[in-house]
Chains A and B, each alone.
Chain A
C-alpha cells in the first residue's frame, strides 16, 4: 500500500462514501470544476457530476442551511468551508438551527461541515483560526479534529455516516506534510475515542491536531533527558473521551494540555475542570496548559511563531511539571 497525504486521505474518504451511498453529496465554494481552494475535492465533480458536487455562491449561511434541509430529507451533505474561519457566518445556522433540530423537532440532520483550519502557515488573522471552542459548547453538534492521515480518512467516513451534524476540522499545516498508509478495506475510526500517540510513564500530554506532532517532537527531546512522556491525541473534541483522559491521569499523575487555539475559553479549561472533578486525588501537580496567547493570529513569521505554541514551550512546561 502506498503512502498518501492527510489531504488525499480526506479525498479518498469522500470518494469512497460517495460511491457507497448515493445520498452523499458535496457543496461549497469552488469545489467542483476547480477542485477546491486546497484541491481536496479535485476530480470528484468529474466522477460524480454537478448534481453531487455543487459549486455554490459565496454563502456560508445559504449552504449550511441548504445542507440541513437536504439532510432532513434523507440526504447526507458534506459542506466545505473554503477556510474554516468563514464558519463564523454560519454560526447561527449551526447552533440555533442544526444543533437543535433533532432535540426540538425530531428532525434528523446528518451532515458534515469540513474545512481547512489552524495556523503555522503564515495565513494571517482570517486563514489560520481554530474555531472549535465556539462549537463544543453547543449541545447537538459533534466536533472532530484529526492529526494523522489514517484518522483523517477514518473519521471522515464516520462523520458522513453519523446521524448527527459533525464539524470536521482539517489542519491545513498537515494537509501535505503528513502521510500515512491506509488500512485495507472499509477504514472507519469511531467518533468520541482518543488514541495514545505515544506511551509514557512520567507525564501526560493531552492534545489534538497539529500540536500532536509538536508534542511528539517535544517528547523525543525530553526522552533524551530521561523524561518519559505519554501523548494522548483526542481526535474527537465533542464528545470528549473522558475515559482515555482519566486513564492517562491515573497512570502518570502529571498533566499538560496543549492546544493551538487561544487560551481563554479553549477546550483545555474544560478538560482541566473534568480532571479536577474526577481525578483530583491522582494529581501530583496542577494541570498546566500550553496554548496560543489570547491574540488574533498575526501574519509575520516572527509574530506568528511567538503567539502559537512551539516545541520548546511544551518542553518547558513538561520540565516544570516534573519538577513540581
Chain B
C-alpha cells in the first residue's frame, strides 16, 4: 500500500526517470525550453512595438518547471496551465502562432480576440483534442474545475490523468482548498503542481503562508506530496512522471511543489522594486534552468554544441514564421462580439441605439462553426 499521506516513498533503488530518458528525448526537452524562451523574447519585442494588446507575462527562469512537468503527461491527459506555463502549453500542442495571435488579439486567434495570452483550451475526447484547459484570472479556480475533469475520467473508466498548476499565491484561496480536498476525498487521478517562485505579484511567500513549505499541506489533505528542484528539468520530469504514474494507478491526488524563482515582474509593467538587491542577478547567474541543462547536455551527455545550435536555429525559424502569420492575421470584426454568449440563442440582438448594425450576416450558420480549432493557426 502506498503511504496515505505525506511524502512519497523515496525512490530507493528505482532509476531516476529523467536521467534515464534517451538522448533524443532529452533534446526534445531542450527544444521545448528554448522555444518557450525564444517565443517570449519575440513577444517582448512585439510588446515594445505596441503590437501586444494587453499585458505580457514572462516565465523567464521557470521554463524547466513548465516543460519538465507537462512532458511527463500522455497525449490523452489533460493539463490546466497558469500564466507562467507557456512551456507546458507548447508541450501539450498549443502552437506559437496561436499564442502570438492571442497576445495580439487577432480575429482568428483560438479565442477570436476574446481572451488574452494562454487563456484558451482544447479539451474533450482523448485523441481528438490536445488536452489543455486555459485558465481564468481568478487564481485557484482551475483546481475545482480540474477536479470535475478528472471526476469524469473516473466515472467513465478512462485511463487519463489531470494536472493543474497553481502558484504559491493561489494556495491561499478557498477554491484551491475546496478543489484539492474534494478531489482527495474522491480519490481522483489529479496532480496538483504548486510552483513556488517566491512571489505572488509583489507579495513574498513569507507573507503568503506561515507554513514552512507547501508540500507539507499534503499531510493536511491526506494526499501524497513531493518537492523538487524546479530549475532542474530532469528532476522535474522525474518527480512529475512518478506522481502521474501513481495517479494513473489509482493512488489518488498528488501534490507537488517545485522550488523555482520568478526573474521578471508579475508582468512587463512591473519594475520589481520590492525585490531585495542582487536576488534576481544571483538566480540568473547561478540557477538558470536552460544554462543548467545545457551544462548537463554538453558535459555529461556529450552532446555536440552544433546539435544545440541546430535546435536554436530551428526554433528561431519557427518563431519567425509564426510571427509572420500572426502579424498578417486580421483583427476581429466588431459585430462578431455578438456571437455565442449562449448556445441558444446563438446571436445576441444589438440594443436599439445600434439598430443600424447589420447582424443578419451573423446567422446561425456562422455561429455554428464558431468555436472550432485549427492547430496550424487559424481558419
Contact = CB atoms under 8 A, between A and B. Distances in A.
Interface in A55-107: 56-57, 59-75, 77, 89, 92-93, 96-97, 100, 102-107
B141 A93 contact: yes
B148 A67 contact: yes
Interface residues of B, number: 42
A185 B307 CA distance: 70
A163 B344 contact: yes
Interface centre among A74, A77, A103 (most CB of B within 10 A): A103
A66 B147 contact: yes
A65 B143 contact: yes
Nearest to A107: B121
B139 to A, nearest CB: 11
Contacts of B342: 102, 140, 142, 164
A75 B178 contact: no
Interface stretch (B130-138, B223-231, B263-271): B130-138
Contacts of B155: 25, 51-52, 70, 75
Looking at chain A's contact residues, the main secondary structure is helix
Contacts of B181: 57, 59, 62
B121 A69 contact: no
Interface in B169-189: 174-175, 178-179, 181-182, 185-186
A277 interface: yes
A15 B185 CA distance: 26
Interface string A128-165: 00000000000110100000000000000000001110
B114 A70 contact: no
B179 A62 contact: yes
B247 to A, nearest CB: 16
Given A63-B182, A66-B145, A73 B123 contact: yes
Interface centre among A68, A73, A162 (most CB of B within 10 A): A73
Contact of B144 (A52, A65, A102, A162): A65
Contacts of B138: 92, 96-97
Interface string B33-60: 0000000000000000000000000000
A72 B352 CA distance: 34
Contacts of A119: none
B152 A74 contact: yes
A73 B340 contact: no
A164 B147 contact: no
A105 B134 contact: yes
B148 A65 contact: yes
Given A69-B152, A70-B151, A61 B341 contact: no
A7 to B, nearest CB: 27
A140 to B, nearest CB: 6
B178 A59 contact: yes
A108 interface: yes
A29 to B, nearest CB: 11
A97 B149 contact: no
Nearest to B133: A72
Nearest to A140: B341
A256 to B, nearest CB: 25
Contacts of A25: 155
Given A106-B340, A139-B341, A140-B341, A69 B147 contact: yes
A57 to B, nearest CB: 6
A62 B146 CA distance: 10
Contacts of B114: 103-105
Looking at chain B's contact residues, the main secondary structure is loop
Contacts, number: 140
Nearest to B145: A69
A70 B186 CA distance: 14
Interface centre among B138, B150, B155 (most CB of A within 10 A): B155
B141 A69 contact: no
Given A93-B175, A107-B121, A139-B341, A56 B148 contact: no
B115 interface: yes
Given A104-B119, A107-B121, A65 B340 contact: no
B146 A69 contact: yes
A65 B341 contact: no
B120 interface: yes
Contacts of B372: 106
A52 B136 CA distance: 28
B340 A102 contact: yes
Contacts of A89: 174
Interface in A277-304: 277
A277 B148 contact: no
Contacts of A163: 343-344
Contact of B341 (A60, A77, A96, A102): A102
Contacts of B120: 105
Given A105-B111, A106-B370, A68 B341 contact: no
Contacts of A66: 144-145, 147-148, 151, 179, 182
A120 to B, nearest CB: 32
A107 B373 CA distance: 12
B136 A100 contact: yes
Contact of A57 (B145, B152, B182, B343): B182
Interface centre among B111, B123, B143, B148 (most CB of A within 10 A): B148
B148 A71 contact: yes
A192 to B, nearest CB: 9
Interface string A13-32: 00000000000010000000
B22 interface: no
29 contacts: A60-B178, A62-B178, A62-B179, A62-B181, A65-B147, A66-B144, A66-B147, A66-B148, A70-B148, A70-B149, A70-B155, A72-B145, A73-B124, A74-B124, A75-B152, A97-B145, A102-B341, A102-B343, A103-B114, A103-B341, A104-B115, A104-B119, A106-B372, A107-B121, A139-B341, A140-B341, A162-B343, A163-B344, A164-B342
Given A59-B182, A65-B178, 6 more contacts: A54-B186, A60-B178, A61-B174, A106-B111, A107-B121, A139-B341
List the 6 closest A-B pairs by CB distance, nearest first.
A69-B148, A65-B144, A106-B371, A62-B178, A66-B148, A163-B343
